[in-house]
Structure formats: structure tokens, C-alpha cells
Amino acid sequence: MTLDSQRTLVALGCRVAAARGLVDGILGHLSLRVGDDQLLIRCRSDTDAGLAFTRPSDIRLIGIDGTPGGAAELDGYRIPNELPIHVETMLADPRRRAVAHLHPPAVVAADLAGIEIRPIYGAYDIPGAVLARGGVPVFERAVLIRSSQLGQDMVAAMGSAPVVICRGHGITSAAGSIQQAVLQAISLDALARMSLQVSAAGGTLRDIAEADWDDLPDLGSDFNIAAAWRHEVARLGIQPS
């Protein structure tokens, strides 16, 4: 992919996240590593209208150290305060090329209510069930993660999991692609909303039966990622290419 097409992809990821209610207003940001020491990240400007209206031009190239990745890359733009979320997540595992830091209200509410995200359903969303099977870790500090140390602390809480809940704050989702990082966040949000609904109805949250996992196959990336992403882009009113 060209640099311009990667900018467009990160911008789409921001818009998809906003359309799914995973962010509100100007909060949250996505990034994509494009080299050993560079990444594209959603930045802010004086004309910023929020993540739902992210433009490819809002996605700027920077060095892993936060310096401009090219001439005029940061002219009129500001790097997110929480850049360490992205940098430390990527540095901890080279397979994590894409990072989505989002603020889904249902996930925050479920965690604050003491509801652990577990695989309470199966075929309803197989990737979501798999995501929750090993438990979703929680970083227990409700702070702005604007230092390398805090970023490293969050990554330590995350461990090898693809997502981590930041208590009283939001989530960080990491994957090999923007598409997967955002789709993971959508699945986590769906689990949180279902858990809240079941609890509000007076039900008891239970993991699905262990025997059921044998009949919950991996349907493959063509379905779980490619087809799912086409749907998310189409929901924005953009005809998939």
C-alpha cells in the first residue's frame, strides 16, 4: 500500500469507530506502523471536527520518538497526548502494527460495574467469543497515558492479549491491521453491551459450555475480517472497492 492509501485506511478506521459509538467527539485515536521507526497517527488541528469526520489529511507521519516523519508533516497538527499508548504497544510486540485507543461507554460501564468480560455467547459472534475466552485484562489506572512509563504499565497489564480495558477511561486494541484492531473493539463493545443487558434483566452471566468450542470454527479472515470490514465501510455510505 502507498502512504496515501494507508492514511485513507487509518482515517476510515477512525470513522468506523465513531459510527459504531466507540468514541465520541474528538476523543480517541488510531495508528499504523509503517516502518521500523515511523507510524501514521490520527492528529488534531484547529479545523478538527471529531473522529466521525476524520480526513486522510488528519493522519500524519511521525517518528517513533514523536518527531515529524517528513517535511511539513506536523504543520498545523498536534500529536495526541497519549502517543505513548501507541508507541509502547507497538514496541512490545512487532506483530502489533495497528493500535486503536477508543472510549466505548458500554465497556467502561461494564468494568466499573464489576462485570468481567467473558464468552457468554458463541455463534452470535465467534471472534468476540474467542477474544473473551482467555479473559480481557484491565489496566486499573484511570489516567491520561501520556508518559512512556504509563504506556509500559498499560502494556504490562495487557500482556499477550489483543485488547486491554483502561479503567474509567477506555480501551486499547492492537492487531496486525487497522481493520482487525477496530473489529476487535467492535466485538468487545458488543460483549459489554450484552453483559450489561443480561445483568439489567436480572440474569446471570455464564460462560458458554466448554464442549461448545468444538463447534465454533474459525471462519477465516476472508469472512471475519475482509467481509466484516466491507460492511463497516458500507455503513459509512462508502461503496466498497
pLDDT at residue 99 greater than cutoff 70? yes
**Cα distance between residue 63 and residue 213, in whole Å:** 42
Whether residue 5 contacts residue 39, with contact meaning beta carbons closer than 8 Å, is answered with no
Report whether 146 contacts 84 (CB < 8 A). Answer: yes
d(CA 232, CA 9): 12
pLDDT for 20 beyond 90 = yes
CA distance 18 to 68: 26
pLDDT tens by residue, 80-96 = 999 999 999 999 999 99
189-230: pLDDT as tens digits: 999 999 999 999 999 999 999 999 999 998 888 888 999 999
pLDDT digits (tens, 9 = 90+) for 170-182: 999 999 999 999 9
pLDDT 10s digits, 62-80: 999 999 999 999 999 999 9
Identify the H or E element spanning 228.
helix 228-235
Task: Give catalytic status of residue 232 as yes or no.
Answer: no
Tell me the C-alpha distance between 119 and 157, whole Å.
Answer: 20
What is residue 219's predicted lDDT score, i.e. its pLDDT? 86
Average pLDDT along the chain:
96
Question: Where do we find the cell 512512556?
Answer: 148
Tell me the mean pLDDT in the region 99-115: 98
What number is the average pLDDT over the span 128-143?
Answer: 96
Select the CATH number that applies to the domain covering 3-236 from these four: 1.25.40.10, 3.40.225.10, 3.30.479.30, 3.20.20.20: 3.40.225.10
Q: Which residue has the cell 496486525?
A: 176
To 10 degrees, the CA torsion angle through 195, 201, 205, 207? -80
User: pLDDT value at position 240?
Assistant: 60
Q: From the candidates 73, 82, 88, 210, which is the catalytic residue?
A: 82
- Tell whether the model's pLDDT for residue 239 goes beyond 80: no
Nearest alpha-carbon partner for 142 in 103, 190, 90, 184: 103
**Statement: residue 51 has pLDDT above 90:** yes
Quick one: pLDDT at residue 220? Answer: 84
User: Stretch 48-56: mean pLDDT, rounded?
Assistant: 96
Enumerate the β-bridge partners of residue 98.
32, 175
Task: Count other Cβ atoms within 10 Å, centred on residue 106.
Answer: 19
Model confidence at 241, in pLDDT bands (50, 70, 90)? low
Torsion of CA 90, 88, 103, 233, to 10 degrees: -20
Report the pLDDT value the prediction gives residue 34, as an integer from 0 to 100.
97
* 184: phi then psi, degrees, rounded to nearest 5: -60, -40
